[in-house]
Each structure stands twice: as C-alpha cells, then as structure tokens.
Amino acid sequence: MKAKKPILLVVMDGVGFSKTGLGDAVTLANTPTLDWLLQNCPNTRLKAHGGAVGLPSDDDMGNSEVGHNAIGCGQIYSQGAKLVNESIESGKMYGSDTWKEVVSNVKKNGSALHFIGLLSDGNVHSNISHLFSMLEEAKKEGVSKARVHILLDGRDVPATSALTYVEQLENKLSELNGEGFDGRIASGGGRMKVTMDRYQANWEMVELGWKTHVKGEGRQFASAKEAIETFRNEIEGVIDQDLPAFVIAENGEAVGKINDKDSVVLYNFRGDRAIELSMAFDNDIFTFFDRGAKPDVVYAGMLQYDGDLKLPKRYLVSPPEIKDTLSELLVNNGYKQYAVSETQKYGHVTYFWNGNRSAKFSEELETFKEIPSDNVSFDQRPWMKSAEITDDLIEVIKSGEYDFIRCNFPNGDMVGHTGSLDSTIIGVESVDLGLERLKKVCDECKVTMLITADHGNADEMVERNKKGELAVRTAHSLNPVPFIIYDTETEYEIIPSDKYGLANIAPTVAKMFGIKAPDCWEASMI
C-alpha cells in the first residue's frame, strides 16, 4: 500500500511505559491527546534499550544517540559500550595506531597519561571498566605516570552514588601503584557543571573543565572523597551531576596538570558531550574561550565523536559504519525530507538519524531546522521549545513541500534528567499540547502522523535504593516506548509481535511509502 500523502514522525524524547509506577510523570501528567491516540489508533510497544539498539545486554539503558541511529537506519549496529567492549576483548583497541601513539609518547618523554571521562558504569557515556582496562594495559606497557580526571554522574546511575565509583577507582589505583607506576585522581566535578556540555549550548562548562583538568586551577582538596563530602555538606540536597569542580593538590600544587608532551584520552564513548572538549584540544583555531597556552599533547577520544568534522583526530575505536539509512533511501527515491528540533536534540534528528553523518545526503532534498534552546535548568522552563517546534511543524506541513517530516520534543528526557517530578509532568503535558495541535493540522492537510520515543525517562522518576528506600531517579529507564499510527483515511494494521524495537520504524515508513526496504533492515510492523 503506497501512501499518497506525507508522513510526520514525532519523537517524544524520554517518554516510555512504566513497569513500576514509581514516579511515572507520563501517567501523572494530563495527556488527553496521547491517551486518545493510544485508545483509538493502531499502536504497539517498542524495545528501546539493550540488544534492540546494539548495546551489550538488556540491562543497558538506551539513549538518544543509539535510539536515533536505530530509528534512522532500520538496523541494529553494535554501539557504545558494546562496540568498545568488543574492541577491548579482541585486543583490537590496544593494537590500534592511536593507542600505540598515546603510550609511546609518554614513555619517550617520561610524561603523564591522562584519562578524562564520566566515572560510572551507566553505559550511556562511559563505563568505569574501560578505564580500569586502560590503566592496567598502560602499566603493562611501561607507562609510569597516570592521572584521572573524573566527571561525576548521578544521572545514568543513582543520583548520589559518586563515592561508590571513587572508591572503586581508588582501589584499582592502589592495586596498580608501585613497581614504577604512579596513578592518581587529579581533578573532577559534576557532569552538568563541568566539561560535558553539548551542542555548544554552554561553553562556560567546557572552559571550567579546561581550567580544572588542564590548568589545575580551582578549589583544592586532598582527595576526591574529601571534595564530594565537603560539597554535600555545604550544598543542601546537591546530587552528583551538580557537584562543583575540584582539584586534587599536595602542598598547594595540583597533582595532575596537563603539560606539554603528555597524552590525554577522553574515555567517554558517546559523542554529543565529548565534541567540545575535543575541539579545545584538537583545533588550532579556537575562539570559544581563552585556552591560554594550549599544551602540546597527544589527544585521543574513545571513539570519533563526529566523523564529518573529524573530531577528534585520533580515536581508539572506530565507529560503526552505518549504511543504508532511511534518509538515504528516501533521497534515492526523490522524497523531500524535513527535520526539526531545538538545540538539545537537533543533532539527534540530523547527525545521529543519518547514521553519524553531519552532511546531508542531498542539499536539495533535505532541510534541517534548529530552534535555539534556552540556556537554563530545564526544571525551571519545562515546556522548553515545544510550542516553537510545533509552530514550525505546522508551517512546514501546511506548505505541502515535504514528503517526510521528523521532529524531536526533548521535554521528557531533558526535564526528566533534572529529577524534578513536578517539572517533568509539565514537560510531558507540553508535548501533549503539541500533539493535539499537530493532530489537527495532519487532519487538515491529510498527513499520516507516527508517534514514538527513543527511550524512556519521564516514566520512571523514582526508584528504590539498595536499602529499599525511595530515591530520585535521573537516569533513563529500561521501559518500552510507544509506536502509534494516526491516520483518519488509511487503515493500518500492526502485525502483532513482542519483538519490535526502534529499528522496525524505518521499514514501516518505507512500506507506507511503497518503497522496497534494503534486505539488511528489520521487518516492517505493518
């Protein structure tokens, strides 16, 4: 059945179906439109985590990057932690030219090997096991000095779990130290305060990270444990992601400044919050803040975070080569496409959607629109840019210019990450208002609307800790997400299955358009 009308795909970022009912902002929100769609339209539930998006196991929560990869390419590629795991287990990473250069540089110069990254086992941006493996390998290969700059999580793991991971790292360093090896924690701070900005929304975070990790400037402590405990005592209710920056020092001197002839590895594997620091290390021309005297180092990322910008220049693990994406298929068949979101998720409906490509497949047939995000904590403005995104979509739909339109409403994810249940409820309600407006214009202009999500988050804002106590949850969930077909003219029937994942969306879109999907794709749901 070939669709004779355009298709609009709406990604409600971070909106899933709760399995626990704990802190379920989606259910608690007033969502008359979403409720109606689920009651009256063909719909199913999709897996958006673990093996369904290329991650190691079903214990691994999905994220927006791998989610949009899967939605946009109709296939399942090894991703993130799984990709790195495979490279470490095979020995491929340690046999790479980049690892050899990183190690040989510090051995030749008697200098330090620095590791910067998120210290947790959340498996969204990083995994502490990868850091441990590299520390072990570095000592094995004769590196004499290692320094670790830790970014505290509290977002993809329990909100106040930082000391658990610090203890694990300190134990690992104690195990390795001696016999010509000196490893220490050098600096750190919460991930939403220092270093890990994305989409150039807040360069001050990156500048603070540069001063902290590279220059060794900032408030000094004898240990990371002392820093964390001090901040928790000083700042009531602070969670790990919001902890201030700190520097570890002895006798008033930072123990781990980054100097000329050092090597630096950013061990995060997820790209969005790694690009800006990579720019600061790699780019000769750099205007976003004053770096001072930029140290001459060998810098590498765990992955190449942007293949088109070639950032970073050196990387330890090659990214999946995603081919045969939906965008490419539609371009090859002459279909015009439009993608829009606000800054926080713009890269997801463009770069990640197109298989980790910054460039378009066709300048003529693809149009991208970025709506600037507010530079505020999203619990303060939980509606974000949902109205502006909706306004833009309505204008685009009414133009009749495009065959396939896609968007991302970030609210469920970005507000969900703040840990504020009340604000997240408002965020979900804001998206529902957008859906109601889009539903009306789709009726008016004879457009099929598909509604889904890339992973869960807002659906599980509370969890039980190890003591059985309720605690704020800021991480993504392992819950399934919706897939809904809204069309008042064409009757679609979803083939029953409990095995569908995000990768089944692209072949479904292709079938609606009457286009043969590549053989490598997953099955259509209709």
Q: Mind telling me the catalytic residues?
A: 64
Let me know: does 437 contact 394? Beta carbons within 8 Å: yes
Q: Where are the alpha helices (DSSP H) in 141-274?
A: 162-176, 203-209, 224-234
Q: DSSP secondary structure string, 405-431? A: EEEEE-HHHHTGGGT-HHHHHHHHHHH
With H, G, I as helix, E, B as strand and everything else as coil, classify residue 28: helix
In angstroms, the CA 137 to CA 95 distance is 11
Task: Please list, in sequence order, all residues whose beta carbon lies within 8 angstroms of the beta carbon of residue 369, skipping any fewer than 6 positions away.
Answer: 338, 339, 340, 392
Gap between the Cα atoms of 167 and 171, Å rounded:
6
Q: Rounded to an integer, what distance in angstroms lies between the CA atom of residue 198 and that of residue 429? A: 25
Strand partners, 45: 482
Q: What share of the chain is helix, strand, coil (3-state, %, to 5)?
A: 35, 20, 45
Please, what is the end-to-end C-alpha distance for the chain in angstroms?
10
Instruction: Name the token pair of 520.
Output: 């490598």
